[in-house]
Amino acid sequence: MSTRPEVDVSLEDVRRAFGAAQALKGVSLAVHTGEVYGLVGPDGAGKTTAIRLMAGLLLPDAGHVRMLGEDPANTRSSVRESLGLVPQRNTLYGDLSVDENLRFFSRLFGLSKQDFAERRERLLDITRLGRFTDRRADALSGGMYKKLALACALLHRPRVLLLDEPTNGVDPVSRRELWELLYGLVHEGMTLLVSTPYMDEAARCHRVGLLYSGELIAEGDPRELARQHGAAANNFEAVFLALVEKRDGGRAA
């Protein structure tokens, strides 16, 4: 007997415009519990808008957004206690040290001193930031900064983690380390939604949604999508280009 997977995050026919620019044009997607969902698309595709809608930082013009069964934009909702967000921009406090940033966010999430001490130790260990606790955040390298942002978002052990282009501007070694870290979190039962402009990262996800010009042009298992388009599993760029060509060609016709 097959069981229907539980949905942690969903967008239903969501539209969102900024002035005359349509950032999302009726996007529907669902992220299942315990999976790594990749929102893949080029710059300007609407990835950041979609993530901000999921985090309740923006309101949709139309459609519905659900996060763990709740409307994330509802300020009375408790969803933020179960949500972690790593924004695309460097949004931590650059003049605060690694430790001060961790401590600050732990207090916002209401962690006790004992819980903080335990989680700090573990997060510093898995992010390998233990040697840099006194270093100011703006003095960290790009990769270390992303790891700190990830650590801050993981302090309260969220059920869902939204990562907006976490590997952007990060060197290949740090990218690999970050992905290993993310797999480790999924093994602990966390649901991950990762946006990325890098097609090669699609293969690392359980499922992907290909976002192009505000529309979700394909969704599914990346290996299955590659097979359908006759591409090698590690050549997702070819899949994406074929889909874009098909979508633009169809429209022209």
Partner 1 sequence: MASTRVNHRVGRILAMAGKEVLHIRRDIRTLYLALAMPVVMLVLFGFGISFDVDHLELAVVDQDRTDLSRELVRQVTASQEFVVVQDGTSPDEAVGALRKGTAMSVLLIKKGFAEDVKRGGAQVQLLVDGADGNSATQALAKAQALVEMAGRKLGGPVRVAAPPLEARVRTLFNPDARSAMFLVPGLAAYLLAIVAVLITALTVAREWERGSMEQLFATPVGRLEIVVGKLLPYLGIGLLQVLLVLTVGAWVFDVPVRGSLVALSLGSVLFLVGMLGQGLLISVVTRNQVVATQVATMTSVLPSMLLSGFIFPIENLPTPLKLISTLIPARYYVATLRGVLLRGNGLDVLWPQLVALALFAALMLVVATRRFQRRLD
Residues in the site for partner 1, rule: CB under 8 A?
A: 18, 52, 55-59, 73, 75, 78, 80-81, 83-85, 87, 89-96, 100, 104-105, 107-110, 152-153
Residue 106 · residue 155 · CB < 8 Å: yes
Pick 113 or 227: Cβ nearer partner 1 = 113
82-109 in b/e form (b: 16+ CB < 10 A) is bbbbbbbebebeeeebbebbbbebbeeb
Cα–Cα nearest to 152, from 171, 183, 168, 129: 129
CA angle, residues 137, 140, 142, in degrees to nearest 5: 115
Are 12 and 64 within 8 A, CB to CB? yes
Q: For the CA atoms of the chain, what is the radius of gyration? A: 18
DSSP one-letter code for 66: E
Residue number with CB closer to partner 1 (53 or 239) = 53
142-154 and 113-127 helices, crossing angle to 10°: 150
CB atoms within 10 A of CB 150: 22
Q: How far is the CB of 23 from partner 1 (least distance, A)?
A: 11
Label the pairing between strands 191-196 and 36-40. parallel
CB 134, min distance to partner 1, A: 13
Decide: 46 and 23 in contact? Cβ < 8 Å.
Answer: yes
DSSP 139: G
Q: Closer CB to partner 1, residue 88 or residue 228?
A: 88
Say how far apart CA 209 and CA 196 lie, in whole Å: 11
Q: How far is the CB of 201 from partner 1 (least distance, A)?
A: 22
Tell me how far, at minimum, the Cβ of 145 lies from partner 1, in Å.
13
CB of 93 to partner 1, least distance (A): 6
- Is the dihedral angle over the CA atoms 40, 45, 16, 13 positive or is it negative? negative
User: Is the Cβ of residue 93 or residue 198 nearer to partner 1 in the bound state?
Assistant: 93
Q: What's the min distance (Å) between Cβ of 79 and partner 1?
A: 9
Smallest distance from partner 1 to CB 96, Å: 6
> Which residue lies nearer to partner 1 by CB, 109 or 240?
109
Which residue, 110 or 172, has its beta carbon nearer to partner 1?
110
Q: Which is nearer to partner 1, 78 or 234 (CB)?
A: 78
Residue type, 153: A
